Amino acid sequence: MHACRQCGGSIEAPFRYCPWCAAPQRAKLVEFFAGTGTEAGKALRVSRYTEEGHVRFSVWNESGVAEAAVSVDDEAALQLAGFLRGPSPATRPGRARGAARPAGGR
Ligand SMILES: [Zn+2]
């Protein structure tokens, strides 16, 4: 049992919408990321549950069936975001080897 964010009415946990004012009770953002290379056709689905404070990753095959899933808390999701925001492939050390013009100019 919790209170509706919109009207304050009490709601049983499984309700996705408030029975009193119809406000959505579950903030869920979903994004699909297509696979590449030999995994084209597969997809990574990322579901962000902003109220519950976790992010769920699921791997979908070419038939649209989820093969695996894992949820991480918001802290781990932020770590992942930072990891992905790291150096882009073009500026990553090691990849620059043999480049005509080194980045940084040290
Ligand atoms: Zn309500």
- How large a percentage of the chain has pLDDT more than 70? 83
Q: How far apart are CA 37 and CA 20, in angstroms?
A: 49
In a domain, 73, yes or no: yes
Residue 46 falls within a domain, yes or no? yes
Q: Residues 89-102: pLDDT tens digits?
A: 666 565 545 445 54
Ligand 1 centre to CA of 30 (Å) is 23
Q: Is residue 44 included in any domain, yes or no?
A: yes
Q: How many domains does the chain have?
A: 1
More reliable by pLDDT, 25 or 79: 79
DSSP for 38-94 reads GGBTBEEEEEEETTTTEEEEEEE-TTS-EEEEEEEEHHHHHHHHHHHTS--TTTSTT
> What tokens appear for 48 in the block?
């962000």
Give the Å distances, CA to CA, from 105 to 26, 92, 97: 49, 14, 14
Residue 2 Cα to ligand 1 middle (Å): 11
Spacing, Cα 1 to ligand 1 middle (Å): 13
Is 91 inside any structural domain?
no
Q: Is residue 67 in some structural domain?
A: yes
- Residue 12 Cα, ligand 1 centroid: separation in angstroms? 12
4: in domain: no
The model's pLDDT over 63-81, given as tens digits with 9 standing for 90+, comes to: 999 999 999 999 999 999 9
Instruction: Provide the residue range defining the domain that includes 80.
Output: 26-84
**pLDDT at site 27:** 78
Q: What is the pTM of this model?
A: 0.61
